[in-house]
Chain A
Amino acid sequence: EPEVTQTPSHQVTQMGQEVILRCVPISNHLYFYWYRQILGQKVEFLVSFYNNEISEKSEIFDDQFSVERPDGSNFTLKIRSTKLEDSAMYFCASSAGTPFAFFGQGTRLTVV
């Protein structure tokens, strides 16, 4: 069964450092998303991406965040200068344009 894969599974970084979270969406999917979940809280939307551009973003997705699809398979989330409050599980998701999406197993980001 095709799946969304994310790397790394766990990233520890120092405050102020840049991190890049990587995702390989399901190959024939067209819509890509990043979500985050702070421990014990709900899953929150960050950004959606379609046709090589951001289609929607939340207020969480400020100037320190960016997304890229550098080649035909990867979809990355960059956090330029991490803060303690960026510690969370980050989920990538993809969709073929059907209403539902498939989620990757997540990257746990710990900012120290």
Chain B
Amino acid sequence: RKEVEQDPGPFNVPEGATVAFNCTYSNSASQSFFWYRQDCRKEPKLLMSVYSSGNEDGRFTAQLNRASQYISLLIRDSKLSDSATYLCVVTLYGQNFVFGPGTRLSVLP
């Protein structure tokens, strides 16, 4: 079983739509969880950390369910500039970051 799995995508949505991405991880000892965003041929950039209590940053909401080993990202009122690949990232013991394969989002005009 892969360490971090994500919806394969791509997700093609119209501007203004709400879109949700799912991620599961296999190692129950995982400690920290993040969503990164990667534009085509660019470096991953931190979008937000994910906490058990859930956290929100503007149009973005992230949730963590440790019991189910599941992480989600919700994007509301999507913009053209949200088009990117969204990477679910998990760490063990604060060290090695394990990346999921990413879910590509295309927001269409």
Q: A residues within 8 Å of B by Cβ? A: 31, 33, 35, 41-45, 48, 55-56, 58, 89, 91, 93, 97, 99-106, 108
What are 24 inter-chain pairs, A to B, with CB distance below 8 A? A35-B97, A42-B87, A42-B101, A42-B102, A43-B38, A43-B99, A44-B99, A45-B96, A45-B98, A45-B99, A55-B95, A56-B95, A58-B96, A91-B43, A93-B97, A99-B34, A99-B94, A100-B46, A101-B97, A103-B43, A105-B42, A105-B43, A106-B42, A106-B43
- B91 located at the interface, meaning its Cβ lies under 8 Å from any Cβ of chain A in the complex: yes
A31 to B100, CA, bound (A): 21
- B32 located at the interface, meaning its Cβ lies under 8 Å from any Cβ of chain A in the complex: yes
A1 to chain B, nearest CB (A): 12
8 Å CB contact of A103 from B45, B91, B102: B45
A48 to B100, CA, bound (A): 18
Q: B residues within 8 Å of A by Cβ? A: 31-32, 34, 38, 41-46, 49, 87, 91, 94-102
B71 to chain A, nearest CB (A): 14
17 more contacts with CB within 8 A, not counting A43-B87, A55-B95, A56-B95, are A35-B99, A42-B100, A43-B38, A43-B44, A43-B99, A45-B96, A45-B97, A91-B43, A99-B32, A99-B94, A100-B32, A101-B97, A103-B44, A103-B45, A105-B43, A106-B42, A108-B41
Given A33-B97, A99-B94, A104–B32 Cβ distance below 8 Å? no
A103 to chain B, nearest CB (A): 4
8 Å CB contact of B49 from A35, A91, A100, A105: A100
A41 to B87, CA, bound (A): 12
A42 to B102, CA, bound (A): 7
Given A91-B43, A105-B43, A106-B42, A99–B98 Cβ distance below 8 Å? no
A4 to chain B, nearest CB (A): 8
8 Å CB contact of A89 from B32, B41, B91, B98: B41
| CB-defined contacts of A97 to chain B, threshold 8 Å | 94
